[in-house]
């Protein structure tokens, strides 16, 4: 199965509160890009204060490991469970940050700053 066939909703991950976003990081213990992506997501979460993060190690989760061919993969979803954006592979510099900022309410945009 390919990444397109993965339905993150089947994972039964708790959605964030209203006005927040959720980043689901699919990683692998053998993946060097995955190791650098988690701290990047954590920095974004600290700076915007409206991003929750769930990391799923596909090497230890048989259901996901079967359906996901490539790591890292990041899915950003809103509080309704709607997919905002998905990346297969590491997002280019700035794209993840911009996606989070653009998806948040205007009052949160004014308080968040990214370098």
Please compute the mean of the pLDDT values over residues 25-33 and round it to a whole number: 87
What is the per-residue pLDDT for 7?
A: 62
- Pairing type for strands 21-27 and 73-78 reads antiparallel
User: CATH no. for residue 62?
Assistant: 3.40.30.10
What is the per-residue pLDDT for 28?
A: 85
How many domains in the chain?
Answer: 1
Please compute the mean of the pLDDT values over residues 86-113 and round it to a whole number: 75
- Summarised one tens digit per residue, pLDDT across range 37-49 is 999 999 999 988 8
Using the predicted structure, report yes or no on whether residue 23 has a pLDDT greater than 90: yes
Q: What is the pTM of this model?
A: 0.78
Let me know if residue 23 belongs to a domain. Answer: yes
Let me know if residue 12 belongs to a domain. Answer: no
Domain that holds residue 46: 3-7+17-111
Please compute the mean of the pLDDT values over residues 20-38 and round it to a whole number: 89
């Amino acid at each position: 199965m390919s990444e397109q066939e993965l339905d993150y909703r089947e994972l039964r991950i708790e959605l964030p509160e209203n006005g927040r976003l959720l980043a689901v990081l699919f990683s692998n213990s053998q993946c060097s890009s995955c190791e650098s992506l988690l701290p990047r997501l954590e920095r974004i979460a600290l700076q915007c204060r409206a991003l929750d993060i769930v990391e799923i190690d596909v090497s230890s989760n048989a259901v996901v490991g079967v359906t996901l061919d490539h790591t890292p993969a990041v899915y950003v979803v809103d509080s309704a469970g709607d997919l905002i954006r998905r990346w297969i592979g590491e997002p280019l510099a700035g794209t993840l940050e911009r996606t989070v900022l653009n998806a948040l309410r205007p009052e949160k945009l004014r308080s968040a700053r990214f370098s």
